[in-house]
Amino acid sequence: MSAQTSPVAGAFRTAVVPAAGLGTRFLPTTKAVPKELLPVVDTPGIELVAAEAAEAGAQRLLVVASPGKESVAGYFRNDDELEQTLEDRGKHALLAKVRRAPGLLAVDSVYQHDPRGLGHAVAQAGPALADDEQAVAVLLPDDLVLGPDGTDAGVLGRMAQVHAELGGSVLCAFDVPRDQVPAYGVFEVSDTADEDVKQVHGMVEKPAPEDAPSTLAAAGRYLLDRAIFDALERITPGAGGELQLTDAVALLISEGHPVHVVVHRGDRHDLGNPGGFARAFVDFALRDPEYGEGLRRWLTDRLKD
């Protein structure tokens, strides 16, 4: 682990993963399988996100689940019988894979009974925090944040450092081409002494390219001061009756709460829709020691036509 990504002691202990959405873009599969458990090659997206949180110093993953999606948190429980069978058969590499998720960090869950938006999902985590937890991380499991070389990003660790230096809340952004800004929430920012850290003054959802205040697009990583839970109680639902997390962040900014953004110079994948998921799957499979080479040959051949 590089010095840049070292966990900052005490910045946060709990990483909240909202996983109570309907996953409509993955229907009909999500009738039976939560999209968080779909495998990127052989590993569910939620395990990749949990590993990122653990790497940044999180001690606990708090899954916000809907009734019926208990299997998401359940995935992190040890399966003693399976582990014993693999042990007996000498399948040590598989055994290590099976034991990785339960060994990453403690996992708890809270319920969001109706999918009333991301803000509402995050609000359900508030009562599950200990009194001394002043900040909490939120990681959207749809978003895979990768380093420039496609491996571990360390962005959450960097966000924890910025939180330790500047206080308040810290978000994550990607610098996207201007013609792509209509797909994102875009930050209005001013510079700080650090080129990759900006102070946030506001956020515009899906702006037209000519109206966008910057080309810094929000990614699904947040390190939020505990004040967010109070703000979530004071905002009103927006379109579709959903409570938006960004509205609560905007309220905090308007009240003088410091919010900064770390501009992440790496890659990302959106696992929330089949097209983005396919890219992530291919990207990870191309780097897989077992399947990578064969897939590359097959793809090259396929793309000739």
Q: Which residues bind ligand UTP (CB under 6 A)?
A: 18-25, 64, 112, 115-118, 120-121, 140-142, 272
Q: In the complex, what is the shortest distance from the CB of residue 275 to ligand UTP, in angstroms, rounded to a whole number?
A: 12
Q: Is 267 left (phi over 0), alpha (psi -120 to 50) or beta?
A: beta
With respect to ligand UTP, which residue has the nearer C-beta, 28 or 289?
28
Residue 188 tokens read as 């209005």
Q: In the complex, what is the shortest distance from the CB of residue 262 to ligand UTP, in angstroms, rounded to a whole number?
A: 20
Q: In the complex, what is the shortest distance from the CB of residue 222 to ligand UTP, in angstroms, rounded to a whole number?
A: 12
With respect to ligand UTP, which residue has the nearer C-beta, 1 or 22?
22
Q: CA 292, CA 251: separation in Å to the nearest integer? A: 47
Q: In the complex, what is the shortest distance from the CB of residue 182 to ligand UTP, in angstroms, rounded to a whole number?
A: 17
The DSSP 8-state label assigned to residue 200 in this structure reads E
With respect to ligand UTP, which residue has the nearer C-beta, 7 or 117?
117
- Burial class of residue 190 in the structure, from the number of CB atoms within 10 Å of its CB (0-12 exposed, 13-18 middle, 19+ buried): exposed
Q: In the complex, what is the shortest distance from the CB of residue 14 to ligand UTP, in angstroms, rounded to a whole number?
A: 16
Which sign does the torsion angle of CA 30, 33, 34, 40 carry? negative
Q: Could you give the 3-state DSSP secondary structure of residue 95?
A: helix
With respect to ligand UTP, which residue has the nearer C-beta, 26 or 189?
26
State which residue has the least CB distance to ligand UTP.
21
Q: Where are the beta strands (DSSP E) in 176-287?
A: 185-191, 197-205, 216-225, 259-263, 267-270
β-strand pairing of 169-175 with 14-19: unpaired
With respect to ligand UTP, which residue has the nearer C-beta, 8 or 245?
245
With respect to ligand UTP, which residue has the nearer C-beta, 23 or 157?
23
Length of the chain: 305
Q: In the complex, what is the shortest distance from the CB of residue 34 to ligand UTP, in angstroms, rounded to a whole number?
A: 8
Q: In the complex, what is the shortest distance from the CB of residue 272 to ligand UTP, in angstroms, rounded to a whole number?
A: 5
With respect to ligand UTP, which residue has the nearer C-beta, 58 or 162?
58
Task: Give Cα separations from 74 to 34, 37, 78, 105 (angstroms).
Answer: 12, 11, 9, 13
Q: Which residues contact 64 (CB under 8 A, 6 or more apart)?
A: 16, 17, 18, 19, 20, 109, 110, 111, 112, 121, 122, 124, 125
Q: Which residues contact 131 (CB under 8 A, 6 or more apart)?
A: none
